[in-house]
């Protein structure tokens, strides 16, 4: 049983480097102690197979679902949501779409009023600071 785990990892690591001949075959078998490890080259799912009187009997080595199936489903949902969001942005129907010309001008008007008032306050402080310096006697 100890030899199965390293063999499974070696097979899984070798899958991306498989040549053209391997891509044409759906399953790859590797002999281990007590049977075979079968890998589905399309999905990466692993099975442990034993030879018996009925022939080759295989059991799923991953507990029913391929490793990472939940993560793959979650990533596919995220991709779908992102593609939908991109479509909304492209059509201008999204909540965060660019503002219309009227909304832009209204925002710029508010910003201009804010800046004018802010600069007025700054000038008042500068004037007060200048008057305080003139009124204070030089004690040095």
Answer whether 28's CB lies under 8 Å from 37's CB: no
Query: Domain-by-domain residue ranges, the chain?
Result: 4-60
pLDDT of residue 105: 96
Half-sphere exposure of 96 (CA within 13 A, CB side): 3
Q: What is the mean pLDDT of residues 49-78?
A: 78
Q: Which residues contact 56 (CB under 8 A, 6 or more apart)?
A: 36, 49, 50
Half-sphere exposure of 108 (CA within 13 A, CB side): 7
Q: Strand locations in the chain, DSSP E?
A: 27-32, 35-40, 46-52, 55-60
pLDDT of residue 87: 84
């Amino acid at each position: 049983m100890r030899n199965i785990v390293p063999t499974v990892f070696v097979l899984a690591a070798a899958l991306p480097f498989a040549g053209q001949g391997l891509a044409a075959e759906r399953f790859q078998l590797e002999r281990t102690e007590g049977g075979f490890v079968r890998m589905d080259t399309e999905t990466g799912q692993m099975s442990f197979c034993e030879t018996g009187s009925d022939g080759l009997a295989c059991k799923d080595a991953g507990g029913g679902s391929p490793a990472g199936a939940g993560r793959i489903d979650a990533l596919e949902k995220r991709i779908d949501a992102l593609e939908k969001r991109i479509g909304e942005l492209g059509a201008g129907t999204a909540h965060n779409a660019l503002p219309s010309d009227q909304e832009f001008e209204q925002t710029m008007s508010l910003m201009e009023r804010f800046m004018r008032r802010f600069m007025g306050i700054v000038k008042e402080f500068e004037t007060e600071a200048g008057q305080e310096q003139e009124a204070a006697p030089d004690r040095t």
